[in-house]
Structure 1
């Protein structure tokens, strides 16, 4: 009989932990995204940095976050502790925010951003392992989707809060960095209330966290992610492009907020669809959205079109973040889950650093349009790799032999 399945509520199967972690992601991203659309302007106008420096700062910061996830995930699996490691990361990220506002040279911004993203990287893999272990496998996409709703809703509210503070309350740009510590600490409190469930195979986990323990399909998935990632540079270039064609800082921040609102609205439905249709088809759709958006950024200089493309790009953001990590979790067994998700995010971060450094050089020495054409080309390459390397009906939830 199928009646019970058809009557499941929209949020059925999601535990209290999932809602707490979603709230933590909401507050953490409010803290981060209050600053993110302001940092490129702060670097270029206040500290007089170049486009290459913008790419270096943001690419290095994002790479730090994702590289650290691989190591924090491995440590989390060895110790079989998720919550404590995540709490350390949330705290470091919160206290790093005011340091950016204290910077008088771009190197200071770089150092503050590295500490911030070090904290974010420390927390992410154990947090994602908490998500995966707090629901049944059939609800995993929805669980990651709900966390993505919190993350992207915070990314929507953060820029709006920045606009309110900058233009309505006349807070100076440095003051925004100082105030961002408040939602960061609220995120820490949400995770402090999460209940961690011990794994039944803790003893095995302490010896089976080596990279060789991952199954071959997992490595093929990382190869797909890496190929796509070569063209996936920091969103700071989208912000700079929007301002370059004539949008004010206020309008740019509002467009960026709308982009994150779309990502928030898409995240949970995308995760839910991936539970029903399979991760591959939904992820492939996100690659297509990315390619179309980047192609559009390369071909137009109309403010309204750029704004529409930026908002459309939110469909990619919400889908890729939820489904990409859920797919990585599918490929590894429970006792390697933090490591598996961590090294997936490390791959994303390393390639984003490469992509951002390339984009910075293209921006300064070729043209702005070349940054986005380059990204569109590798979106096609990543899509083809996903089709060829990942079986259509892959359900890889199995331990390596």
Structure 2
């Protein structure tokens, strides 16, 4: 008997993640240089923006999970989340003040928070139980590929466009638009049933998680305290004299190490 293959919806979501991450990295790897060099924003302010972005995305993740449970539909929320991210790409090229950058960044992070839970719900429903781990691994692996390719495209575009960051931001709208096309037309919810089957959401059920689960959550929280924004890596590269054109390569190295760690651990984290 032949081994079952991964469903088309899984591959579709994988390429959706890849395209959106390419777009994100094309912007995020150049944004600190644009803020510091073009707008004269301090490192403290950049750190505040990054921290606020993480907080916004975290809150949106929780609300998205609740809405997915209540609505019992996942794809509309996924389209909303990715759509907000794609919409933010149209703001970055026009942004000439800090508040406009904050607006675009907030819109992007809200979208990122919203799309996570429904995307994973579609993956779970579309994947055969014996291939569920492979499905999540494929999506995360393609996401990592996007994180690797995006900075390389940003470097190439900076070379071709003589270091014009705003024009590179315009180019970042292309993979974002392709992402939306792939999501809307090529990712289907399982036929004949809704993805979310739960009848209601109860916050108190979180208290019923096993001690082992709470232990993992606690350990992950402690580890995350040592994490700092990638923006500071990019700012450090600028500080030591690396041109803004080549600064994105620092994140290429980071993603190579990240992908290598995934391989050694036997698969990408979900």
TM-score by length of 1: 0.61
Tell me, yes or no, if the aligned pair for 1:149 and 1:265 is still in contact at 8 Å: no
The residue that corresponds to 1:47 in the other structure is 39
Taking the aligned partners of 1:201 and 1:171, their CA distance within structure 2 comes to 46
Q: Which residue does 1:125 correspond to in 2?
A: 117
CA shift in 2, pair 1:187/1:262, >3 Å: farther
SS in 2 for 1:233: coil
1:12-51 paired onto structure 2 within 5 Å? 13-51=5-43
Gaps of 5+ in 2: none
Distance, in Å, in 2 between the alignment partners of 1:211 and 1:108 is: 35
Is the Cα–Cα contact under 8 Å of residues 163 and 250 in structure 1 kept in the other structure? yes
Q: How many pairs align?
A: 264
| CA–CA distance in structure 1, aligned partners of residues 99 and 249 of structure 2 | 28
Q: Please state how far the C-alpha of 1:103 moved relative to its aligned partner.
A: 2.0
Secondary structure class of the residue paired with 2:9: helix
Q: Work out which of the residue numbers 73, 81, 85 in structure 1 matches 2:77.
A: 85
User: Is the 2:82–2:111 Cα contact (8 Å) retained in structure 1?
Assistant: yes
Q: Take 1:200 and 1:167, find their aligned partners in 2: how far apart are those partners?
A: 45
Distance 1:183 1:233 in 2: 27
Match of 2:236 among 235, 241, 252: 241
Residue 206 of structure 1 aligns with which residue? 199
Describe the shift of the 1:164–1:123 C-alpha distance in structure 2 as closer, same or farther (beyond 3 A): same
Higher-RCO chain (CA-CA 8 Å, sequence separation at least 6): 2
Deviations 1:281-328 (A, max 9, x none): xxxxxxxxxxxxxxxxxxxxxxxxxxxxxxxxxxxxxxxxx42x3xxx
5+ long unaligned stretches in structure 1: 275-321, 326-401
Q: Distance in 1 between matches of 2:45 and 2:86?
A: 24
Change in CA separation of 1:166 and 1:221 when aligned onto 2, cut-off 3 Å: same
Does structure 1 retain, via aligned residues, the 8 Å contact 2:53–2:106?
yes
Tell me, yes or no, if the aligned pair for 2:125 and 2:195 is still in contact at 8 Å.
no
Q: Does 1:142 align with 2:134?
A: yes
Aligned: 1:152 with 2:144: yes
Tell me: CA distance 1:179–1:251, structure 2 relative to 1, closer, same or farther (3 Å). Answer: closer
Counterpart contact for 1:59–1:233, Cα < 8 Å: no
**1:349-400 Cα deviation digits (max 9, x unpaired):** xxxxxxxxxxxxxxxxxxxxxxxxxxxxxxxxxxxxxxxxxxxxxxxxxxxx
Hey, what's the Cα distance between the residues in 1 that align with 2:154 and 2:123? 30
Q: CA deviation at 1:169?
A: 3.3
Contact 1:148 1:264 in 2 (8 A): no
Q: For 1:184 and 1:13, locate their aligned partners in 2 and report how far apart those are by CA, in whole Å.
A: 28
Deviation at 1:151, TM superposition (A): 1.1
Q: Secondary structure at the match of 2:73?
A: coil
Q: Give the TM-score of the pair, scaled to structure 2.
A: 0.88
Distance in 1 separating the partners of 2:131 and 2:47: 37
Secondary structure of 2:247's counterpart equals helix
Q: Distance in 1 between matches of 2:105 and 2:235?
A: 18
How far does residue 88 in structure 1 lie from its aligned partner after superposition? 1.2
CA offsets per residue over residues 9-34 of structure 1, 9 Å max, x none?
Answer: xxx55221111011001110111110
SS at match of 1:248: coil
Compute the displacement of 1:137 (Å). Answer: 4.1
Distance of aligned partners of 1:245 and 1:162 in 2 relative to their CA distance in 1, 3 Å threshold = same
Match of 1:74 in 2: 66
1:113 CA displacement: 0.2
How far has the Cα of 1:148 moved from its partner?
1.4
**1:250 equivalenced with 2:242 (yes/no):** no
> What are the residue-to-residue correspondences of 1:106-117 with 2, within 5 Å?
106-117=98-109
Counterpart selection for 2:188 from 195, 202, 205: 195
